[in-house]
Amino acid sequence: MAIREIRLKGDEILRKKCKEVKEITPKIFTLLDDMADTMYAANGVGLAAPQIGILKRIVVIDVGEGLLELINPVIVQTEGAVVGDEACLSVPGKSAQVERPEYVKVEAINRKGEKIVVEATELLAVALCHETDHLDGVLYVDKALPNTETIWEDEK
Ligand code: ZN
């Protein structure tokens, strides 16, 4: 268990496309543990592997309903649209409004190699979209609505 360094916007690794996980090895278990540790230490609700410099399709999310570990997540269905504030551990001190689906359905595998399906709305739906985007080198700032950026007071 370890806290890893979070890569920040401007780091090229955040712009790369991540590779699918073909085999769940002990190294993947360590990575999942470290990602959760790093996310909780930073008070985040989600973290994608490229944010700690690992180009694998893995995300961890906890919106207050327990830890979700998703390997090779794929958004298979979306419905509706809703605009909300978003922030990212790789873009510290800022937030902006982004339009996301109201409902998403995601298929992934868990650390046991079992297929799991997650259906979500509200914050979990946003987190699933945001973190899945990271795996394709996309940051929320790419999708932010114009003139909606807020810079947090204590970071100015
Ligand atoms: Zn992010």
Burial of 115 (0-12, 13-18, 19+ CB in 10 A): exposed
With 60 as the cut, is the pLDDT of residue 156 above it?
no
Residue 155 predicted with pLDDT over 60: no
Domain boundaries, the chain: 12-155
Q: How far is the CA of 51 from the centre of ligand 1 (A)?
A: 8
Phi, psi of 53, deg, nearest 5: 85, 15
Three-point CA angle 141, 143, 146, nearest 5°: 80
Task: Check whether 21 has a pLDDT greater than 60.
Answer: yes
**3-state secondary structure at position 30:** helix
Q: What is the pLDDT of residues 60-101, one digit of tens each?
A: 999 999 999 999 999 999 999 999 999 999 999 999 999 999
Task: Look up the CATH superfamily of 12-155.
Answer: Peptide deformylase (3.90.45.10)
Mean pLDDT, rounded, for 100-127: 98
Mean pLDDT, rounded, for 112-123: 98
| Catalytic position from the list 131, 149, 153, 155 | 131
For the chain, the average pLDDT equals 96
129's enclosing H/E stretch is helix 122-134
Determine the distance separating the centroid of ligand 1 and the alpha carbon of 26, expressed in angstroms: 25
Q: Which two tokens stand for residue 3?
A: 């806290």
Say whether 40 sits in a helix, a strand or coil.
helix
> How far apart, in whole angstroms, are the C-alpha atoms of residue 14 and residue 58?
14
Rounded Cα gap, residues 87 and 84, in angstroms: 10
Please identify which residue in the block is written with the tokens 């609505």. 145
Strand partners, 105: 77, 119
Tell me if residue 107 is catalytic: no
State residue 153's pLDDT score: 75
**Residue 23 CA to ligand 1 centre (angstroms):** 25
> pTM for this structure?
0.96
